[in-house]
Amino acid sequence: MNSSQLLSFVTFAYGFAATFYVAAWVFKKTMPARLARWAAIIGVVVNVAGFILRWKESYDIGYGHAPLSNMYESLVFFALTIGILYLFVETRYKTHIVGAFATPIAFLAMAYASLSPNISDKIQPLIPALKSNWLIAHVVTCFFGYSAFAVAFGVSIMYLIKSRASEKENGLLARLPGLKMLDELTHQMVMFGFLFLSIGIITGAVWANSAWGTYWSWDPKETWSLVTWFVYATLLHARMMRGWYGKKIAYLSIIGFAAVLFTYFGVNYLPGLHSYGSV
């Protein structure tokens, strides 16, 4: 079994996890929640195994680089970091309902990587610009930031849904965690993501200077990374200095994740130094 086949199994694991988490929320049963958690854990473990196997395969064919260099590999790593962060959140906050909004993002990332005809799962040699020790540091920090923002996005959706429930609500909305907890979790995830995105931008600038002789070239990827950074900086400033919370923070979190998605997917197809990201 090669890494691509092993990682295809991860798609199903995350899909089962998402399905069971939704079922646990809808039917208010503990068994689906347990199955969902185990599916998520298995998905993360196999995701790690597939990542390591792909790295080994790269060495076996003479390329010898971390599997973080193209769209397929980045989606695999994106799903992995979402899975890791979500399981931490479930353990830390003792709630499984967040999984109904977080694990579907990991599933969609893997499904897109596995099923999109425009994405190749072949291991490819690094282009000259990517042959650097900064590759791992830059990509890992950026994607942990992206994943934290993805979880924050899911929690923000939950907040907006929960805020529509009346005090006497006794249905699906009432089963969501309390507004205070959701608001605080969004804030914590955004702070975590902002820290890692900041480190990712700094390491990317140092890498750019090494590869292209300039720290910043206003490439579309760089520009939109900065836009994303400013959106989340605005959110944190509004929270800490202006006392914003609740719906305002949730909306800013959703806008921020839209900027993340455009930074990740959209700009890869624009002419620029990062156009290799669409491969």
Q: What is the pLDDT of residues 79-89, one digit of tens each?
A: 999 999 999 99
**Of 63-77, 135-149, 257-271, which has the strongest mean pLDDT?**
135-149
Quick check: 278 pLDDT over 60?
A: no
Q: What is the pLDDT of residues 91-135, one digit of tens each?
A: 999 999 999 999 999 999 999 999 888 788 888 888 777 778 888
Is residue 154 within 8 Å of residue 102, measured between CB atoms? yes
Quick check: 167 pLDDT over 70?
A: no
Is residue 104 within 8 Å of residue 18, measured between CB atoms? yes
Q: What's the whole-number mean pLDDT along residues 162-176?
A: 76
- Please, what's the b/e burial string for 101-129 (b: 16 or more CB within 10 A of its CB; e: otherwise)? bbbbbbbbbbbbbbeeeebebebeebeee
Give residue 58's Cα distance to chain centre: 24
- pTM metric for this prediction: 0.93
Task: Give the model's pLDDT for residue 117.
Answer: 82
